[in-house]
Amino acid sequence: MKKYNRKIQLKFRENLFGIRAALSDVSNCLRLGFTQLAYGRNVHTTIKKINRCGDEVLTEAPTGNLHLRNRQPSAALFPPLIPVVDLSKPDSKHQIIKACEEFGFFKVINHGVPMELISRLESEATEFFSLPLCEKEKTGQPKPYGYGNKRIGSNGDVGWVEYLLLTANQDPNLVTENPESFSVVRCLFSQGCFEYYMAAVKKMACEILEMVADGLKIQPRDALSKLMMDEQSDSVFRLNHYPPCPDVLQSLNGDVIGFGEHTDPQIISVLRSNNTSGLQISLRDGSWISVPPDHYSFFVNVGDSLQVMTNGWFKSVKHRVMANSVKSRLSMIYFCGPPLSEKIAPLPCLMRGDQQSLYKEFTWFEYKRFAYTSRDGSWISVPPDQYSFFVNVGDSLQCEARVMANSVKSRLSMIYFCGPPLSEKIAPLPCLMRGDQQSLYKEFTWFEYKRFAYTSRLADNRLMHFEKIAAS
C-alpha cells in the first residue's frame, strides 16, 4: 500500500483497454464496464528501450495490464510451502494427488529430463529473443502460433513479455491454422533442439498423468495420458521471455504484470524457467504467493480440463507472472492438450453415488474457443475526482470493483444503484445476438438473481451459476 493512496480498483476479466481508452471512448467504456463522466488525466506512459541490435523493444507501456497493480491480498505471513514431488519415490502418486487437491500446483524433482536438453534449448531461446525484432517477427504473428510481443492471445491482453507459441504436435498440419510458422521457427533453432526437449517433457507429463490415474483409481491407467499422447493431441509449447522491466516504469505504475492472472485451459502444463522469480500462484483463499525459482526443477499446473474431468476434485490453479526489474525471465512450458474433438466431461468412474456432474460436456475445441475469447484479470486504480461521477456496469459485463482502505484520508461515497423491477427477466438482448450466436446465460428474474447475489460472498463469481457453459 506504500506510495499508493487511491481507493477504487477495478478488476477486468475483460482486460482489453487501458484507462486512457476508458476515459475517451464510449464503446470501450462499455466493454470495460466502467466509465468516468468527465475527462480524466491521461495515464499513458512511454518508455524507450533499445536492444543491442538497435531496435526499440517493448517501447511503450501498453495501455492495459502494465498499469495494473498487484493489490490482491498479499501472501500470508508464513506462506505454505509449495509441494515438492520426487518422481523417483514410490509414494509420488499420493504426493501428486494431495498437491493437486490442495494447490493445483507442484514442483517436480528427479524428473528424468536431461539437463543438457534443457540448457541447450534455453540458450538457443535466449539467442532467439536477442535477435532484432524484424527477425523475430519473420516467424509470423501469433495466429495463434508464432512470435508475439506484449499482446497475449487475441483479446488485447497485454503484458511485459515476448513469446514464441508453437503446436507441440509432430505434424503441425493436423492442428495448426498457420503451420508455416512452425517450420520457420525450426530453421532458427538447431536440429532436434525442440523435438528432444519436448519428447522428454511429454514423457514426464505422461508419467505424471498415469500417476494421477493410479492415485484416483481411474481405469485404465492411461485414461488421461492417452489424450496427450494421441497423434491428434492439441498440445502447445511456449517460450516466454520477460525482459527486465525498467525501474522507472515500476515506480510509475506499481508492480508491472508480465503475464496477467489466468488458469491454463489444458489438462496439465509443465513449466520450467531460468533462475528468475516472477511466477505467482493464487491460493484457495485468494492470496498470492511467489514461486521460488528453481533452475533444476519443473512446475506442474492443473488446467481447467483436468478440473472438469475430476468434477472439481482438482482445481485449476490461477497464476500470473510479475515483471522483474533486474533479470530476464525465460520460461518454457508444455501444455498437454487433448485432441480437438475430444469430449471433456467428468470421468464416470470418479462420480460417487448420486454425485451430480458439475459441468456440461463440451469438446476441447469448444472449450478452447471459449477460453481464448475470455480475458485475464488484474486490478487498476481509479484516480479520485471530486467533480465527476463514475458509472459502473453491473454483472452483465463482469467488471469487478473493490475499495482499498486509505491510511490518511476518510473516503465518503454516494452511489445510486439502477435496478430493474423485481419481476423483470434478465437475459441476453435478442438484438445483440449475432447470427447463430448462443446465449451464454440462462434466463432469470431480477428477483431470483438478487436473492442469489445477496446470499453469496463478495468475491464469488455469481454469474457462473447462470452460465450455460459450466454450471457449478
Q: Where are the alpha helices (DSSP H) in 219-279?
A: 225-229, 247-253
Do 215 and 200 touch, CB atoms closer than 8 A? no
Identify the active-site residue in 329, 402, 434, 451.
329
State in angstroms the smallest separation of the CB of 177 from ligand AKG.
19
Site string for ligand AKG, 375-414 (x = CB under 6 A): ----------------------------------------
Residue 224 one-letter amino acid: L
State in angstroms the smallest separation of the CB of 275 from ligand AKG.
13
Do 145 and 321 touch, CB atoms closer than 8 A? no
Residues within window 155-214 making contact with ligand AKG, judged by CB under 6 A: none
Residues contacting 291, CB < 8 A, separation 6+: 82, 105, 107, 277, 279, 280, 281, 299
Examine residue 331 and tell whether it contacts ligand AKG (CB under 6 A): yes
Give yes or no for a cis peptide into 293 (omega within 30° of 0). no
Residues within window 207-266 making contact with ligand AKG, judged by CB under 6 A: 238, 240, 259, 264
Site string for Fe ion, 214-253 (x = CB under 5 A): ----------------------------------------
Q: Which residue has the cell 470418479?
A: 350
State in angstroms the smallest separation of the CB of 156 from ligand L4NPZUNZ.
9
3-state helix, strand and coil shares in percent for the chain, rounded to the nearest 5: 30, 25, 50
How far out from the chain centre does Cα 365 lie?
A: 18
When the beta carbons of 369 and 442 are compared against ligand AKG, the nearer one is 369
Q: Where are the alpha helices (DSSP H) in 294-401?
A: 304-309, 364-372
Contacted entry of ligand AKG, Fe ion, ligand L4NPZUNZ, none for residue 331, CB cut-off 5 to 8 Å set by kind: ligand AKG
Would you give the DSSP letter of residue 66? G
Contacted entry of Fe ion, ligand AKG, ligand L4NPZUNZ, none for residue 316, CB cut-off 5 to 8 Å set by kind: none
Site string for ligand AKG, 256-285 (x = CB under 6 A): ---x----x------x-x-----x------
Site size with ligand AKG, rule: CB under 6 A = 11
State in angstroms the smallest separation of the CB of 389 from ligand AKG.
38
Written as nine digits, the cell of 47 is 518508455
Contacted entry of ligand AKG, Fe ion, ligand L4NPZUNZ, none for residue 240, CB cut-off 5 to 8 Å set by kind: ligand AKG
When the beta carbons of 372 and 389 are compared against ligand L4NPZUNZ, the nearer one is 372
Examine residue 305 and tell whether it contacts ligand AKG (CB under 6 A): no
Contacted entry of ligand L4NPZUNZ, Fe ion, ligand AKG, none for residue 257, CB cut-off 5 to 8 Å set by kind: none
When the beta carbons of 93 and 319 are compared against ligand AKG, the nearer one is 319
Examine residue 264 and tell whether it contacts Fe ion (CB under 5 A): yes
Using CB under 6 A, list all residues that contact ligand L4NPZUNZ.
144, 152-153, 155, 157, 165, 236, 238, 262, 264-265, 335, 371-372, 374-376
Give yes or no for a cis peptide into 73 (omega within 30° of 0). no
Written as nine digits, the cell of 181 is 510458422
Quickly count: other Cβ atoms within 10 Å of residue 264's Cβ. Answer: 25
When the beta carbons of 343 and 369 are compared against ligand L4NPZUNZ, the nearer one is 369
Q: Where are the alpha helices (DSSP H) in 58-192?
A: 92-102, 115-129, 133-137, 172-175, 180-188
329 belongs to the catalytic site: yes
State in angstroms the smallest separation of the CB of 271 from ligand L4NPZUNZ.
10
Residue 305 CA to residue 463 CA, distance in Å, equals 20
The candidate with the shortest Cα–Cα distance to 134, out of 145, 123, 121, 149, is 149
What are the φ/ψ torsions at residue 16 (nearest 5 degrees)? -80, -40
- Burial of 332: CB neighbours in 10 Å, binned 0-12, 13-18, 19+: buried
The candidate with the shortest Cα–Cα distance to 389, out of 43, 35, 24, 22, is 35
**Contact set with ligand AKG (CB under 6 A):** 238, 240, 259, 264, 271, 273, 279, 319, 321, 331, 333
Q: Give me the active site residues, please.
A: 329
**Contact set with Fe ion (CB under 5 A):** 264
